[in-house]
Amino acid sequence: MTNPPTYPQPAVELAGFVEDYLYGCEPAAGCGVCAALAKELAGARAAGVYSKAYDAAAEIRNHPHPRPRDGN
Ligand SMILES: [Zn+2]
């Protein structure tokens, strides 16, 4: 009888969830700043510079936009 692993799944399974939590963001359509940040985010992730990627994602999340469905 072999010892079962104490973890239910490989850590890789969790990575997608964590990455989405850290880097998930919704760049606003038509916003040049968001588009630039999204590009920076993708580049930083590809280069493995995760602190920079996180910063870019946070900036996208915090970038203020007028809400299209407000007022009118
Ligand atoms: Zn924006």
**Rounded Cα distance, 25 and 69, in Å:** 20
Domain-located, residue 41: yes
Domain-located, residue 4: no
Distance 18 CA to ligand 1 centre (A): 23
What is this structure's pTM? 0.68
Domain-located, residue 47: yes
Tens of pLDDT, residue by residue, the chain (72 residues): 567 667 665 555 566 788 888 899 999 999 999 999 999 999 999 999 999 999 999 999 999 998 766 555
Domain-located, residue 42: yes
The H-assigned helical ranges of the chain are: 11-23, 32-47, 50-62
Q: Which residues of 15-39 are buried (b: 16+ CB within 10 A; e: fewer)?
A: eeeeeeeebebebbeeeeebeebbe
Domain-located, residue 40: yes
Distance 44 CA to ligand 1 centre (A): 18
Distance 16 CA to ligand 1 centre (A): 24
Number of domains in the chain: 1
Distance 30 CA to ligand 1 centre (A): 8
Domain residues for the domain of 48 are 27-64
